[in-house]
A and B are shown apart, each in its own frame.
Chain A
């Protein structure tokens, strides 16, 4: 009898994927520490973390989107467009702090357009964001004439490179946003609505959930995150250009899926996404640190994604059809 009880508890334990990820992460860090202890030094890790905050920020709303069985391929392009707006406004003499708000608004607007197409015109999100991926980056290139804008003041760079009690500022921003996202997804009715939509959109609609509104919200949030990520990037690297964030969308989707969010929707947690982001970050950083070969990095990340999902699906008893 106790055996059955144990088996039930086994099946009811809902944090399998996150546990596997955590184990992988710990294994990676231990191996890294053995190979080169300097890598694990707190100062080094803090500085290296600056490479990943934009990815993390974008991964949060992407989790919400993928939970509803959607996808947003245009996050990199929205980042570029927001960055270009920030750059052009700075060139026009506007303070970068005001420009940051403008960039944020640009991201929100771009995301909202995606949302309108998905929620009301009802085109599949893959297709919408495939089109806006090209359109937004194209507009960014067009209005900036592909020129970069740099020379932002040091006070602005603080946003990307400064520290608050030892914690990098973008890290603090990310932490707060992540906490919010986690709470919303796990506890708020809005979060539950997203899971319902992902599980069965028609059923969700019939049970009275405002599906269109929810979809509009999450794609707009994705745009807002892209705007924020753009501001942080420009502050950090002191450059606003139309090619920022190229390829970002695939990295973000990789992180979210690595974190256990099902691409079919209905399943996924912010905690998982956080672990996914961390795992990718540490894997990338360590491979580069140890072997100094960019080609290896690509192979490792690709393999990591496949292997982790493979392990997860082989060990789960769930049907994925």
Chain B
């Protein structure tokens, strides 16, 4: 009897699919534009709430909200980084009829359906920090493409290891194996590595957003590969863990660690020489620019097709296609890290 029930169930589904749903219409931004005096609600959604990287973006965002006035800024995101939770949040905001959702997607594919639905229901959607699918958002506040990040990581490590002739074994410690962004960066890192023919990638290991695990993996890597010269710790949680492992193993200077992190979190390691360079960008500006853009889009001051637009205290920003460009990747070293306080 149970078998019949299951067959029935799936038969129902198959029949249902035969009645085609209306083909998805091209998504038009149908959101009403709010005039300058009216309050708008902007939701800032990070990949993972609780990471200092995103908290500092949020600080910049709050600055912009205060400056512009008439903005209710909501900063919320999944504390465990789950893309499904983020998608649920987008759904809820859509039905609360907020004005703008600015999302940094941890997984562009999982979030795409929620983002598209938001646009269909009249909410402006833009992405920041990481891009979503092109038809799921109006603009992408772009501080660096995956390609730029991947290349910058490899180039920085190579430079610290001796330039074009850099040689030695290198390893990558990533976040989780399924992390979409890290996988993108690694793709470009692997693309860039052949430029330095004497650098050899010997291992890629996950750290599952667990700093202790990154520490242990770095320890093990140094022991198992005695010729290891460099470790890429490409998750902001893994980076301090890996650096600590290098420091405790007394390999400061012999094994270089680089990765992405805020200057505040890595300052100690840069000052004592364990880490030569930290790759990032100005996160306060990124958050600030995102809210400026959100406000401008909601009020009709920024429309698709624009090639530049004034972004408050950041001046005029260039727009390439639908990418609002923040500026350059920053590399923090011993010489300049004290200038940055985020």
Contacts and interface: CB of A to CB of B under 8 A. Distances in A.
Contact of A288 (B9, B20, B89, B177): B89
A237 B13 contact: no
A243 B95 contact: no
Task: Give chain B's interface secondary structure class.
Answer: helix
A149 to B, nearest CB: 9
Contacts, number: 111
Nearest to A44: B95
Interface stretch (B76-84, B139-147, B296-304): B76-84
Interface in B44-90: 49, 74, 76-80, 82, 84-85, 87-89
A298 B10 CA distance: 35
B92 A237 contact: no
Interface in A171-214: 172-173, 176-177, 180, 184
A146 B9 contact: no
Nearest to B24: A154
A154 B21 contact: yes
Between A157, A224, A236, A292, the greatest number of chain B beta carbons within 10 A of the residue's beta carbon is seen for: A292
Interface in A42-88: 43-44, 47-48, 50-51
Interface stretch (A10-18, A128-136, A159-167): A159-167
Contacts of A50: 91
B238 to A, nearest CB: 16
Given A164-B16, A239-B110, A38 B21 contact: no
B337 to A, nearest CB: 31
B333 interface: no
Nearest to A232: B13
Contact of A48 (B80, B82, B84, B92): B92
B264 interface: no
Contacts of B96: 38, 289
Given A161-B113, A238-B109, A294-B76, A156 B13 contact: no
Closest CB pairs A-B (n = 4): A146-B177, A150-B109, A239-B109, A243-B178
Interface residues of B, number: 43
Given A146-B183, A161-B113, A292-B74, 10 more contacts: A141-B178, A146-B178, A155-B17, A156-B17, A157-B113, A158-B17, A158-B20, A176-B8, A238-B110, A247-B80
Contacts of A97: 14, 17
A150 to B, nearest CB: 4
Contacts of B9: 173, 176-177
Interface in A235-270: 236-239, 241-244, 246-247
Given A141-B177, A148-B180, A155 B21 contact: yes
B95 A38 contact: yes
A288 B85 CA distance: 11
Between B78, B84, B88, B91, the greatest number of chain A beta carbons within 10 A of the residue's beta carbon is seen for: B84
